[in-house]
Structure 1
Amino acid sequence: MLDSKFVTTVTLLLTHSTLSIAEFAIEQQVTKKQAWYEIEQLNKRLAALSLPRVTIKEGHISVPATLKTDWTTIQAQELLLDGEERIHMVILYTYLRQEWVSNAHYQQLLNMSKNSVVLALKRVKSSLSVFDLTLKYSRKEGYVISGPEHDIRRCIDASLNSLRKSPHAGQLLDLIFARWQLPDDKQALREFVMSLAAKYDVRFVNERFEHVIQLLLFIKHGEQQHELVYSPQQLQYIQSVTMQQMAEEVATYLGLTNDRSGNVIFVTAQLLSSLQGKQGLVQEKAFLVLTEAIINEVQRYTLNSFEASQTLIDSLYEHLVPCYFRLLFGTPLHNPYVKTIQDEYTDLYELVKKGLRPLEEAVKQPLTADEIAYFTIHFGGQLQLPTETKSIRALAVCPNGVSSSLIMVYQLRLLFPNITFQPVHSVSEVADLAAGTFDLIFSTVHFVTTQPLYVIKPILNPVEKEMLKKQLRHDFNWQPAQAAVNVSDVMSVVQRYASVKDEQALFKALSDLMNLKRQDQGGINLHELVTTDFIQQTEQQLTWQEAIKQAAQPLLVNDYISDGYIEAMITMVEDVGPYIVIAPHVAIPHARPESGSKKLGMSLLQLKHPVDFDLRHEGDDDYQVQLVFVLSAVDSESHLTALKQLSNILEDEETIAELVVAPTIEAIYSIIKTKGSVDND
């Protein structure tokens, strides 16, 4: 019986052929001693399946070449499902019911006893209740999923997404179709839709496209209980896009053309949610305005002026359009990296979340963490990195969408600053490139190529980063710009001369350090930057230019900035306008690091008399500023923690009022320290 943990462990060893026992321990979240035991138990399982054993030589795990071939064969055997897999198997199996369904059907499907099935069905009912659905039983119909059609389809969508996380997802879905003797026509549907994509000149995000193909097959063979009802706003947008013509052809192919069913609109929404690229299938002007509004808001909160602005607009547009339709039609998105993104990019995630308010207002609903995380990696991938001389050329192939591609390339550039990366969004594009134009390939999917290929995830953990660097040193004779230091080697030296209480924590800390990762993008708190020495009060009546100069004085005197930085801030306001007023009565002037920023710092000037920043004469009282924070940022990231804390303060009008009337510098600092240390979610 193949359970998920066993399958995942074997897959890990087959993927990383040079894994050390220390790296295996970190990946499995066990101690080194426990790792040896894990390998011993793994070998017992392999032997029971007549598979070759793995061995350990000089601290590294050696995997027999024959295991990969034999493993592919053995995976076709019976699988042992975990609790979550059982829930989604029952939901999907019941939805596809072709006849009366009883407890006996579930016993056969799950290989469980009658009483065990009864317990499993309680968990199924609990999962269905999240979607306002019920699992009903009658002698006439057996088990049936009951509820509004939209909710049923949202549930099926979510179950397919959840089951995709299983290492044997494909086999489980094939099993459901086989039990109902339904044809496996995924490939035929895929080819038909791709032929239409060529006809209508559209491209899809590969990962999302594959999910939609699977979902449409379930809709084709499932029982539609009720008509799909859409809101006037949903109908208005569907009627304005040419994608509906393509959707009608897909719906006809699937036999879903009942005019009253609403299936053509459903198919249209699914295709729109999978689009990649700026393809003229939607009303571009409104989305371009929304794209620029989001960029402006994110820049306002992060105080970053993103490079290659047109590139950013185009790529964000490509991500925004399908996202908009997912939100508009309630199509759930599963982001497998959401927790990793929230942990790795904590501050940027919170600031981007605030910057996405124009989108939330447009769709009249809050964004999910899954969607916010994708926007976070989109903007994270645009952050500037130090430049170095490039000596190696690499392709970065990620068919899973623009955002995943951006963050993948961003991570690779951090790991390998002396390698030039060219993003590629589909495997077919690689064939169009001359082999002599690149030296190696990083990809999220495997494909046949004559060049060295490294298959990676879009977001790598510290162990995976270290293993990738080790692979390049071994296979490609790559050397980093600085002297190469291997984390495993450092661990060995430390263990030789010291007692290590927590090997996992030490390995992760060393990996973070050697990958030049700043914890929480710098981790410097607001109150550590805006100390009493950097706070001023004035009763003078100043112009906005004088206010900026006065507010910047502590930074200038303490050699955090040059005179040129102050002039650059004033010039930027003159060129762009009062965008620095990010909250009522609060301005945060800043300039690019290269304009004269020497150290990360922030100062504050409290003004008794408001300063007029209403350069466009809009008559808005918010531009009467009494708090001027000056930021000296040395890069795109190190100020994000402090900025997130400041943005939380500035969302509370009462706190702003307290800062405006605080009588002393010490009182101002106390408010900043107290309120800035609390994260407002």
Structure 2
Amino acid sequence: MVMIDQRTRLLMKKLIEKPINSQQNLMDQLSLSKSQIDYALEKASAVLTEAGLEPLFIDNLNVELSEENKNYFLTLFSQKKIYDYYELSSEERKKYIFLMLLFHYKEYLSLNHFIQVLKVGKTTFTRDIKKVEEELKNHNLEIIYTRKEGYQLVGDEAKIRYHLMRMILEDSSLGDNLFLYNYFLSQESEIDVNEISKIIKELMDQFNIKLVENRFNEFSYMLIFLVPRLSKNWTEFYTKYNYQTFFKMQEYQFSVALLKSFNITNEYASLYVCGWILGMAMGTADQTIPDYSIINELVERIFNRFEMLSGVRFRDKQSAKKQLFSHFRPAYYRLFFHLPIVNYLHEKILVEFPDLFEIVKETMRPIEVLFGTDIPDEEITFLTIHFASLLDDYDEYPVRQKVGLIVCPNGIGSSAIIYNELKNIFPEMILIGPVETNELTTVTENYDMIFTTVPNIRLYSQKKPIYVVNPIMSIDEKYHLIHEIQNTSDISPRRYKTEELLEIIDKYADIKDKEQLGKALESYLHENRSSKSKGNVKAKATVNSELNLLDILKPEYIQLDVMTRSWEEAFYVAATPLVDAGVFGRRYIDTIIQTTRREGPYMVIMDKVALPHARPEDGTKKVGLGITVLKNEIKVMGKTPIKYIFTLSAVDNKKHLAAIAELVSLLDKKEFFNILDHSNQSTEVYHWLEKELAKV
């Protein structure tokens, strides 16, 4: 009998997703060395030959999975036969040990129990459990052993549950379909995951609670593993979070009904599950829900502060606020109940939207006080992706030839980003969706291919080409996706083919690195084609095309020790150098004054600091920033004092964000305001800024 290890299993999944694959691509995707991929390929072939099938076709470069072999692998996964031949990796054994201690906490667990289920010797188990103990120490949890009670997991119940949730969220974000948890349940219980999921789904429909596909799966598994512990009395939790608003919510009624189906009727568990589901469920800006006024007030504050800090004025504020509400409501409860968050796009967002991230982080700073703790960066990047999707343009393109269906089980933010990414890459393709995996059967339109952020075995039943993509793609990922589609479809995402250009260049010049030149040409053609397709709409700014603070600020835009008699005069004086330089017209500052009279001092972003700005269509001609320091404070609308005026002119929603991020970082420094207050000439301020920003 050929045993299947983790690497071989993941290799088999990759080959199901893409039956013809290069060995190098498999090595990159699975983070394996040449010897490791060779071993996994050998094992996968042995699985096939043992079943009486032909082995994998492997040459020096590529691996090919036949249709018959693909169907066999699919059967192994879908019918769970793989469990019979599976051996756990070291990392999987550590998680299995934790799950046993958590799930069987009422039972006596001996050394022999672990050795038997893990299928390892005493020495290996001893080494594994020591590693688990080391990891749990970081969370003030420990494993103890007594002859009377066996192995036990001890520590704060909140931290034990947090550790499980974090583990499931991390594994789910890796797109591995929670294989280990299914394997554990198949070995350790009679629980039918599908039956429990069905109960949860029916009750969610009854109480009108919506979870996106991945959140639903995560909730289902968390519940299954925590059910044995939910009967425990947890007075501390109930005392800390017992607010009357919760008991009015449909989420609380859902929690009571759900736990009743497991014969659990204690109030601690109901409130816990209520907080937990509130931290996962999609929020809806519905004024009838009990917490609407609380959440909406915070959304208003976040939205207004973001507009102030970013220099962006949204046209459709209500629509933008509704989208923000839908994300912030679960984020609020995750922070309130100290629930874990795992954002699998975190690192990519930091790379792709560093300036927007800094602005959003500063936007959220006053909100942290409410929770008595720092807001995790992973929450900030979730908000960042929402604001990024709001800043994107959604103009439709002319009719295209091919139709692509987007399947994204990760919610609004990721869906909006991947839609816009694919639109930019393939301007001649019709894109429909995004939809969740469960909605595939409801799609009535004909489509030629599927784009998905999370591979799922069910997608392959559609008999369509499937492309697994990241919501935020690097240039290399875009390049590979374009070539992958060009090789399997007659769609041409560009007016010119890179191969043709390379042939022409190669004919008349020596090429040192053909592959890198190809990538550079592909990147250039992508940006060029995207901007032409959009007409007057600006192509997505790259890191190199963003403007920094010193790109939009000149010494002549800086005014110091200015005397004015009113806030209106202060704004006009602050705008004068920019008007004279042709950055914007007089109408722009008139609009700022009128907006302030109508909406109040929207531009005051922190104590005594104003960032007046209007929309590009209100008279903007160039990106620019002016700095004006008043001799004496003046109150805007008779109530809000200002002394430092940073007048911003933006031509779109993005080009100035890098500059604003730099400005925001300066506003945290006392030295900056010292220079503004005590410098005699604008050039002194400008030279100080040059030196300070050069340090970054």
TM range (shorter): 0.7 to 0.9
* Equivalent position SS for 1:365: coil
The answer to whether the aligner puts 1:527 opposite 2:545 as a matched pair is no
Identify the match of residue 624 of structure 1 among 612, 634, 642: 642
Please give the alpha-carbon distance, in whole angstroms, between the structure 2 residues aligned to 1:385 and 1:86.
47
Shift of 1:250: 0.7
The aligned amino acid for 2:412 is V
Shift of 1:430: 5.8
Identify the match of residue 592 of structure 1 among 586, 606, 615: 615
The answer to whether the aligner puts 1:402 opposite 2:412 as a matched pair is yes
User: Partner residue of 2:564?
Assistant: 541
Shift of 1:138: 0.6
Q: Are 2:231 and 2:269, in contact at CA under 8 Å, matched by a contact in 1?
A: no
The answer to whether the aligner puts 1:197 opposite 2:204 as a matched pair is yes
Pick closer, same or farther for the CA change 1:289–1:144 going to 2, 3 Å. Answer: same
* Equivalent position SS for 1:411: helix
The answer to whether the aligner puts 1:102 opposite 2:100 as a matched pair is no
User: Partner residue of 2:56?
Assistant: 53
Please give the alpha-carbon distance, in whole angstroms, between the structure 1 residues aligned to 2:581 and 2:520.
33
Q: Are 2:562 and 2:628, in contact at CA under 8 Å, matched by a contact in 1?
A: no
The share of aligned pairs that are identical, in percent, is: 24
Q: Are 2:172 and 2:214, in contact at CA under 8 Å, matched by a contact in 1?
A: no
* Equivalent position SS for 2:242: helix
* Equivalent position SS for 1:578: coil
Shift of 1:92: 0.8
Q: Are 1:269 and 1:325, in contact at CA under 8 Å, matched by a contact in 2?
A: yes
Shift of 1:213: 1.0
Identify the match of residue 608 of structure 1 among 631, 641, 653: 631
Pick closer, same or farther for the CA change 1:296–1:3 going to 2, 3 Å. Answer: farther
Shift of 1:383: 1.0
The answer to whether the aligner puts 1:65 opposite 2:87 as a matched pair is no
The aligned amino acid for 1:402 is I
Identify the match of residue 275 of structure 2 among 251, 269, 277: 269
Pick closer, same or farther for the CA change 1:575–1:168 going to 2, 3 Å. Answer: closer
The residue correspondences of 1:230-309 to structure 2 (distance < 5 A) are: 230=237, 232=239, 234-236=241-243, 237-259=245-267, 262-278=268-284, 280-309=288-317
Shift of 1:648: 1.3
Of residues 641-650 and 666-675 in structure 1, the stretch that sits farther from structure 2 once superposed is 666-675
Please give the alpha-carbon distance, in whole angstroms, between the structure 2 residues aligned to 1:572 and 1:490.
57
The aligned amino acid for 1:272 is L
Of residues 459-468 and 656-665 in structure 1, the stretch that sits farther from structure 2 once superposed is 459-468
Shift of 1:586: 2.5
Please give the alpha-carbon distance, in whole angstroms, between the structure 2 residues aligned to 1:343 and 1:322.
25
The answer to whether the aligner puts 1:478 opposite 2:463 as a matched pair is no
User: Partner residue of 1:412?
Assistant: 422
* Equivalent position SS for 1:208: helix
Q: How many residues align?
A: 661
User: Partner residue of 1:583?
Assistant: 606
Please give the alpha-carbon distance, in whole angstroms, between the structure 2 residues aligned to 1:320 and 1:472.
36
Q: Are 1:545 and 1:570, in contact at CA under 8 Å, matched by a contact in 2?
A: yes
Q: Are 2:93 and 2:128, in contact at CA under 8 Å, matched by a contact in 1?
A: yes
The answer to whether the aligner puts 1:208 opposite 2:215 as a matched pair is yes
The aligned amino acid for 1:364 is G
Please give the alpha-carbon distance, in whole angstroms, between the structure 1 residues aligned to 2:139 and 2:503.
50
Shift of 1:289: 1.6
Pick closer, same or farther for the CA change 1:458–1:318 going to 2, 3 Å. Answer: same
User: Partner residue of 2:344?
Assistant: 336
Q: Deviations over 1:587-624 (max 9, x none)?
A: 222232333434433232334344x3512x22x3xx23
Pick closer, same or farther for the CA change 1:420–1:114 going to 2, 3 Å. Answer: same
Pick closer, same or farther for the CA change 1:203–1:139 going to 2, 3 Å. Answer: same
Q: Deviations over 1:6-53 (max 9, x none)?
A: 5445544543457667866765779xxx88x88766644443444633
Pick closer, same or farther for the CA change 1:653–1:274 going to 2, 3 Å. Answer: same
* Equivalent position SS for 1:541: coil
Q: Are 1:521 and 1:641, in contact at CA under 8 Å, matched by a contact in 2?
A: no
Gaps of 5+ in 2: 528-539
Pick closer, same or farther for the CA change 1:304–1:413 going to 2, 3 Å. Answer: farther
* Equivalent position SS for 1:229: helix
User: Partner residue of 2:537?
Assistant: none
* Equivalent position SS for 1:175: helix
Please give the alpha-carbon distance, in whole angstroms, between the structure 2 residues aligned to 1:176 and 1:198.
29
Q: Deviations over 1:505-563 (max 9, x none)?
A: 88877776555464448454323432435434464436444444444455445544445
* Equivalent position SS for 1:275: coil
Please give the alpha-carbon distance, in whole angstroms, between the structure 2 residues aligned to 1:465 and 1:52.
32
CA RMSD of aligned residues (A): 3.8
The aligned amino acid for 2:71 is T
User: Partner residue of 1:317?
Assistant: 325
Of residues 293-302 and 10-19 in structure 1, the stretch that sits farther from structure 2 once superposed is 10-19
The aligned amino acid for 2:207 is Y
The aligned amino acid for 2:195 is A
* Equivalent position SS for 1:204: coil
Identify the match of residue 639 of structure 1 among 656, 662, 677: 656
Of residues 148-157 and 132-141 in structure 1, the stretch that sits farther from structure 2 once superposed is 148-157
Q: Are 1:204 and 1:276, in contact at CA under 8 Å, matched by a contact in 2?
A: yes
Of residues 531-540 and 131-140 in structure 1, the stretch that sits farther from structure 2 once superposed is 531-540
* Equivalent position SS for 1:631: strand
Please give the alpha-carbon distance, in whole angstroms, between the structure 1 residues aligned to 2:316 and 2:577.
33
Shift of 1:146: 0.6
